Amino acid sequence: MSATKPHTSTEVVDVKGSSGSHSRIGEIASRLASKLSGSRQRHPVLHRLLLTVLVVCLGLVLTGLVSGVTNLDLATGVAMSVAILGLSFLTGFSGQVSLGNGAFFGVGAYVFAIWGNHQSSSIGEDLLVCTAAGAVAGLIVGLPATRLRGPYLAGMTIAVAIAFGSLIDEFSSWTNGDQGLNVQSPVTPPAWLASFIGEPTSSLRATFMWRADITIVVAGITFFLMANLFRSRKGRAMRLMRENEVAAELVGVSLPGARVSAFVVSAALAGLGGGLTTLVSTAVYGSTFTLGLSIEMLTLLVIGGIGTLSGSLIAGLLYAYSITWISSLVSGLGLTSSSNLGSQMNNIIFGAVLIITVLVAPLGIAGTTQFVISRRLARRRTERLDKAG
């Protein structure tokens, strides 16, 4: 979401001075733009809130228009984007690379199913429990992280990701091991939401529509809170820590505190994303939460753009839709999905795109787009100044 780049707005303000040569519409547009960006600088929180509400409302309208399957994809993608946003905060802001966030995601997913099968609480409460469970797991893993640097930490989180699978097996009386766990009690939407949809919730379309709606609203709240965290004192302190630890320590940032809290926030969001995913899919299988999932999350994040809100959203939607795109590519190439090449096409494409991204555009889709736009705006501005002077 564009609220993350106020530095580009100052360039828009300057357009006002040279609007004489523009057409009337251009003049009105540039005046509007300058007003908007002025309000963005004066009331950043209000601006983010309005933007979030706008995007969430658009999303909700969209869920009413599309089919059940599309809603399922949409909900899956948005749920994943919440988890990836947490990883984005951890990696992009505090500079710690985690290859174990799939395990926190799994904690949230299992807690949603187990808690939901034992307690009759509302969906909101269930999701809060998932978030809290993720945060606790993040605290446990994050505490040693205060002593570990870059590659040590990344390696340790790999071991966490692999160990999670065997822990699922070990506690199979709770998790039901390989068999997987179904959400037994039928999850129903709150009455007001059901009446809002106005369709029997048993139909395929409505089933996934209300789930997508809840996911989008929860994701909207999360993205809004995280946008404020990104711009807050804490967020700035973490970015300083990533750039220069010693300088951060000298200006009074507690490094261990900042490291652990980044882990806790990231794991809490992963837990929430896992809970939302279980809400959508209504079943949990241990085979989902392998090292591969953690790696996929990091891959999607890098391709989407580390440290940006829009990058996480792009990454989540890529997660949901890439499966469809790649399977249509596989059939377009005349391969069957069970053949060796066809079954591996997904990872071949993701691996290659990831390597190319790191070598060519390490800022990812969102970061590179922001960079290109801000450079173009700056160039236009200097051209105008040249003409005027």
Residues that bind another protein (CB under 8 A): 91, 95, 97, 99, 144, 147-148, 150-152, 154-156, 158-160, 162-163, 166-167, 169-170, 244-247, 291, 295, 298-299, 302, 306, 340-341, 343-348, 350-352, 354-355, 357-359, 362
Q: Smallest distance from the beta carbon of 375 to another protein, in angstroms?
A: 20
Nearer to another protein, 34 or 146 (CB): 146
For residue 119, the SS3 value is coil
Nearer to another protein, 59 or 95 (CB): 95
Q: Smallest distance from the beta carbon of 165 to another protein, in angstroms?
A: 9
Nearer to another protein, 37 or 322 (CB): 322
Q: Give first-to-last CA distance, the chain, whole Å.
A: 35
Q: Smallest distance from the beta carbon of 14 to another protein, in angstroms?
A: 32
Q: Smallest distance from the beta carbon of 98 to another protein, in angstroms?
A: 11
Q: Smallest distance from the beta carbon of 260 to another protein, in angstroms?
A: 13
State the alpha helices, DSSP H only, in the chain: 9-13, 24-42, 44-65, 68-88, 101-118, 123-145, 150-170, 172-175, 191-197, 204-231, 233-243, 245-250, 255-281, 291-304, 309-332, 340-360, 364-388
Residue matched to tokens 């564009």: 2
Q: CA nearest 235: which of 272, 199, 261?
A: 261
Contacts of 163 (CB under 8 A, 6+ apart): 103
Burial class (CB within 10 angstroms; exposed 0-12, middle 13-18, buried 19+) of 269: buried
Nearer to another protein, 57 or 356 (CB): 356
Nearer to another protein, 17 or 150 (CB): 150
As a residue count, the chain comes to 389
Q: Smallest distance from the beta carbon of 219 to another protein, in angstroms?
A: 25
Nearer to another protein, 271 or 342 (CB): 342
Residue 126 and residue 112 in contact, taking contact as beta carbons nearer than 8 Å: yes
